[in-house]
Structures are given as C-alpha cells and as structure tokens.
C-alpha cells in the first residue's frame, strides 16, 4: 500500500463500494490497521487498506493522527474486552478482535487482576486481559513468519462456528477469502484479499491434488466452464479442508470429495516456505 496517513479507530469497520452503508461491503478493516486516505467526500473517505484493497469508509472510523507508541498490544484471541476500569468484572467499553493492535501503557505491566492498561487509537484508555494479547516493541512484527504449516489449519479450527459474512474479515463474521487471509496473517504471511487474487498470486506455488498438504489453499470455481474462482478454503490434510461457507453455514470442515466441492474443485496453491516472500507483491 501507499504510505499510511490514517489509522482505523473502530474495532471493526466496513469498507464499502459506494458512499453508503446500503452499498456492497467489499471488505473490513480492524482497529490499529493503517490506511492510505486518497480523498474525502461527504463524511466518507476513499482509502487503500494494508492489503492494497480500495473502498469507502466512514470518516468517523479513521484517525488522521497515527500514534507512535513504544509498546504495542496485539490481540491473539478471537475476542477480548476493553474494560473501562482496572476491574476484571468492570464495565466493558468495547470488544477487540484477533489481530487488533493498540498502545500498551505502563510498560505493559500486568496488575493484580491480570490486566494491562492500553490506549486505543482515538485516545480512549482502558484495560485488557493480559492473556489475550502479545506485547511487541514499535517496529517489531507481532506475527513472525511461521514455517509450520500444520499450525495453519489449527488456527482455522479456532474459528469454527464463526458466521459467514460477505466482506467480513473478523471473528464477528468472515467470508471465505477473508478467512484464509486471516489465517495466513497470524502465521506471518500477508495475502491479497479476494479468492481469485489469492489463486493468481505470483508467489503461490501450484500443487497437484494428490500432493495437497495441511496449510495449502484449495480453490473452487463456478460458471459453465468452471473458470471463475468463487470459493477458497484451507486444507487440513490431503482429504479435508476448513472454510467459511455461505448459506448460513459459517466456518466448517468438509471433505474434498463432498458435493459440490468434488466437481467445483479448481486447484490448490501453497505459499512458499520463505520469510523473504511473506509480503504482498504489488503488480
């Protein structure tokens, strides 16, 4: 993406095709993620997100001042509560989701209640459970490259039961490509947003069906000639895959031989086991 000049200040915010929430939600951004603001109209901003996607976001959900904290708290659980006071049973201000990042205060010190003081990008201060975050210094990547591809489907299974949501990228609701993108992100690989983009990624290595392994992306196609990629999942092994399925199913596990996946199968791709190729290659 271009040089960031904004930051997402809402826990999860929609990115839309047009300047109205009734238009198609094309993706979502998570608190702490950078954006590049290209223009602003009618209380909306046209932005580029960290994964090079573009769309309209409500201006109130983007901060123009990017904090420069010394210590960052990144959420590692599906959800964590931000509490209004240093009381584990206290009032909840908001919820943060997996990969959200905020400023850690007081050197990340854990108090007697097991809480860490944090500051959100809009300046609001609160407390989060120390067990739900990891601390990293500014400039240090919270998601280092992970060469253990067996861990990828394990992360996918953590999301089982999360509802399918078009354009969704979080445990509140997620679509198929957002699901695969999120899994890769927490294991140190940045993917493009849509399934067809992921399949055509110049870094991705084609894999024969007989050679599918845990952590491979499996793609499915629609249309009469089966050329249009419409779905993606994460292989658990050579026979099964975990994915975010539509029609009210959400994140589930299926067999590659299940219908309609057996006939709609398009191919598999494996991201290289090379930390030098972890980042998105912009065309």
Domain locations in the chain as residue ranges: 6-63, 71-137, 151-277
Mean pLDDT over 93-104 rounds to 98
Check if 54 is active-site.
no
| Given the residues 36, 184, 187, 231, the one annotated as active site | 231
pLDDT tens per residue, range 227-257: 799 999 999 999 999 999 999 999 999 999 9
Query: pLDDT at position 281, please?
Result: 85
pLDDT tens per residue, range 11-41: 999 999 999 999 999 999 999 999 999 999 9
Mean pLDDT over 43-49 rounds to 98
- Tell me how far apart the alpha carbons of residues 213 and 219 are, in angstroms, rounded to a whole number: 14
Mean pLDDT over 89-113 rounds to 97
Residue 94 has pLDDT above 70, yes or no: yes
Query: pLDDT at position 261, please?
Result: 96
Mean pLDDT over 134-150 rounds to 95
| Given the residues 176, 184, 187, 236, the one annotated as active site | 176
Query: pLDDT at position 35, please?
Result: 98
Check if 236 is active-site.
no
Q: Which fold has domain 6-63?
A: SH3 type barrels. (2.30.30)
Q: Do domains 6-63 and 151-277 have the same CATH topology?
A: no
| Given the residues 36, 184, 187, 243, the one annotated as active site | 243
Mean pLDDT over 257-264 rounds to 95
Mean pLDDT over the full length of the chain? 96
Check if 176 is active-site.
yes
Lowest mean pLDDT segment, chosen from 65-69, 168-172, 188-192, 200-204? 65-69
Is residue 63 a contact partner of residue 7, using CB atoms and an 8 Å limit? yes
Please give the CATH superfamily to which domain 151-277 belongs: endopeptidase domain like (from Nostoc punctiforme) (3.90.1720.10)
Lowest mean pLDDT segment, chosen from 114-118, 219-223, 238-242? 219-223
Tell me the CATH number for domain 71-137: 2.30.30.40
Q: pLDDT class for 283, splitting at 50, 70, 90?
A: low
Is residue 239 a contact partner of residue 256, using CB atoms and an 8 Å limit? yes
What is the DSSP secondary-structure string of the chain? Answer: -PPP-EEE-SSEEEEESSSSTTS-EEEEEETT-EEEEEEEETTEEEEEETTS-EEEEEGGGEESS----SEEEEE-SSEEEEESSS-TTS-EEEEEETT-EEEEPGGG-B-TTSEEEEE-TTS-EEEEEGGGEEEEETTS-SS-----TTHHHHHHHHTTTPPB-TT-EETTEE-HHHHHHHHHHHTT----SSHHHHHH-TTPEEE-GGG--TT-EEEEEESTTS-EEEEEEEESSSSEEEEEETTTTEEEEEETTSTTHHHHEEEEEE--S-GGG-S----
Query: pLDDT at position 244, please?
Result: 98
Query: pLDDT at position 109, please?
Result: 97
């Amino acid at each position: 993406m271009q040089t960031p000049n904004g930051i997402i200040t809402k826990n999860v915010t929609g990115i839309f095709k047009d300047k109205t929430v009734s238009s198609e939600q094309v993706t979502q951004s998570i608190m702490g993620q950078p954006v590049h603001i290209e223009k602003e109209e009618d209380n909306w901003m046209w932005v580029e997100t960290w994964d090079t996607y573009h769309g309209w976001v409500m201006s109130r959900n983007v901060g123009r001042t990017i904090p420069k904290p010394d210590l960052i708290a990144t959420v590692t659980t599906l959800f964590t509560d931000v509490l209004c006071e240093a009381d584990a049973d206290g009032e909840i201000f908001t919820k943060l989701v997996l990969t959200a990042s905020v400023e850690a205060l007081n050197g990340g010190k854990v108090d007697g209640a097991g809480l860490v003081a944090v500051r959100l990008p809009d300046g609001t201060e609160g407390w989060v459970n120390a067990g739900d975050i990891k601390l990293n210094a500014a400039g240090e990547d919270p998601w280092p490259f992970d060469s253990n591809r067996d861990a990828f489907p394990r992360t996918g299974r953590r999301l089982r039961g999360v509802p399918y949501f078009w354009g969704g990228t979080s445990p509140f609701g997620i679509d198929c490509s957002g699901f695969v993108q999120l899994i890769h992100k927490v294991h140190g690989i940045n993917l493009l947003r849509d399934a067809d983009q992921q399949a055509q990624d110049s870094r991705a290595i084609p894999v024969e069906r007989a050679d599918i392994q845990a952590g491979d992306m499996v793609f499915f196609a629609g249309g009469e000639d089966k050329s249009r990629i419409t779905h993606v999942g994460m292989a658990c092994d050579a026979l099964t895959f975990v994915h975010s399925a539509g029609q009210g199913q959400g994140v589930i596990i299926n067999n590659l031989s299940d219908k309609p996946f057996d006939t709609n199968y398009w191919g598999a791709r494996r991201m290289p086991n090379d930390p030098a190729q972890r980042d998105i290659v912009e065309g």
